[in-house]
């Protein structure tokens, strides 16, 4: 069907933007904004399960984020560690498969066994596939896939499934090197709210916008196609 009406997006990707600005606007340290962002991720995962979304990929830390102050980067890495330690069992219990995409060679060594353990322990989860993009660059991922892939289908194996709905919070309207290949036919929804304010109501709002759009993938709209058949 060339339409998204009443259908649930199979793969939702989220650029979780605005943690620092949310904190700064409240005269709080930026690190507290990232902590609030981790809570928002928990709500987003719960919402994705409730809506029946199959894959949720979130932009947690880009390769460009290494340019931020070392104190902030260290706080984010500690937050990743805490998330993995506290969420592995819940993900396993709730049938959520957890994967980490992106480079691993530049991450703190203590994170690697936690990531691997999370992926192993939750591998059988079938309700939702949660993909955390950490030290991630889409351009780099495409470059690496190009050296390994022999067919276009191979790119899906190396990069991931096509995105149906891309959500970005905090008002910015760009991809920022996130899932460039996978978003070829994605519907984009840009929300003004910063990421720490994300909840089920905003997920529902984004899905409603997705469902209101006609996804043609280069074909004619239904009405135009019918007129073409008649003529």
Per-residue model confidence as pLDDT tens digits over 71-93: 999 999 999 999 999 999 999 99
Average confidence (pLDDT) over 92-104? 97
| Confidence at residue 32, expressed as pLDDT on a 0 to 100 scale | 96
Average confidence (pLDDT) over 13-22? 97
| Confidence at residue 151, expressed as pLDDT on a 0 to 100 scale | 85
pLDDT tens for each residue of 35-84: 999 999 999 999 999 999 999 999 999 999 999 999 999 999 999 999 99
Question: Please, which pLDDT band fits residue 215 given cuts at 50, 70 and 90?
Answer: confident
Q: Nearest 5°: CA angle at 195, between 112 and 166?
A: 80
Question: Please, which pLDDT band fits residue 217 given cuts at 50, 70 and 90?
Answer: confident
The DSSP output letter for 172 is -
| pTM, rounded to two decimals | 0.91
Question: Please, which pLDDT band fits residue 152 given cuts at 50, 70 and 90?
Answer: confident
Catalytic residue from among 19, 64, 65, 105: 65
| Confidence at residue 221, expressed as pLDDT on a 0 to 100 scale | 66
- CB of 40 closer than 8 Å to CB of 198: yes
Whole-angstrom Cα distance, residue 53 to residue 8?
7
Q: Which secondary structure element, helix H or strand E, spans residue 41, and what is its range?
A: helix 30-51
135 labelled catalytic:
no
65 labelled catalytic:
yes
- CB of 37 closer than 8 Å to CB of 19: yes
Whether 4 shows a pLDDT value over 90: the answer reads no
Write 79-86 long-range contacts (CB < 8 A, 24+): 79/34, 79/35, 79/38, 80/111, 80/134, 81/108, 81/110, 81/111, 81/114, 82/38, 83/38, 83/41, 84/111, 84/114, 84/115, 84/117, 84/118, 85/114
Whether 161 shows a pLDDT value over 70: the answer reads yes
Whether 229 shows a pLDDT value over 60: the answer reads no
Whole-angstrom Cα distance, residue 188 to residue 209?
9
Whole-angstrom Cα distance, residue 189 to residue 186?
10
Average confidence (pLDDT) over 1-20? 83
Catalytic residue from among 17, 19, 135, 164: 17
Determine the 3-state secondary structure of 42 from DSSP.
helix
Determine the 3-state secondary structure of 166 from DSSP.
strand
In CATH, which of 3.30.2420.10, 3.30.365.10, 3.40.1180.10, 1.10.3720.10 is domain 11-230? 3.40.1180.10
Determine the 3-state secondary structure of 131 from DSSP.
strand
Whole-angstrom Cα distance, residue 177 to residue 94?
31
Average confidence (pLDDT) over 153-174? 93
The residue written with tokens 């919402």 in the block is 47
Whether 165 shows a pLDDT value over 60: the answer reads yes
């Amino acid at each position: 069907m060339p339409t998204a009406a009443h259908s649930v997006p199979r793969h939702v990707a989220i650029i979780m933007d605005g943690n620092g600005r949310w904190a700064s606007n409240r005269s709080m340290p930026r690190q507290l904004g990232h902590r609030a962002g981790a809570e928002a991720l928990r709500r987003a995962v719960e919402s994705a399960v409730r809506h029946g979304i199959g894959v949720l990929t979130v932009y947690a830390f880009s390769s460009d984020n290494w340019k931020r102050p070392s104190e902030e980067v260290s706080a984010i890495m500690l937050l990743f560690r805490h998330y993995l330690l506290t969420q592995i069992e819940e993900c396993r219990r709730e049938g959520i498969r957890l994967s980490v995409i992106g480079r691993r060679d530049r991450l703190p060594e203590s994170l690697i066994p936690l990531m691997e353990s999370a992926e192993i322990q939750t591998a059988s989860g079938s309700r939702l596939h949660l993909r955390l993009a950490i030290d991630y660059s889409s351009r780099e991922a495409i470059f690496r896939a190009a050296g390994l892939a022999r067919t276009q289908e191979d790119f899906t194996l190396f990069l991931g499934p096509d995105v149906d709905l891309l959500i970005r919070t905090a008002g910015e309207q760009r991809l920022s090197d996130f899932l460039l290949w996978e978003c070829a036919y994605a519907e984009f929804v840009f929300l003004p709210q910063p990421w720490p304010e994300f909840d089920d109501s905003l997920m529902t709002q984004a899905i409603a916008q997705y469902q209101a759009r006609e996804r043609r993938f280069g074909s004619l709209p239904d009405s135009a196609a019918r007129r073409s058949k008649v003529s």
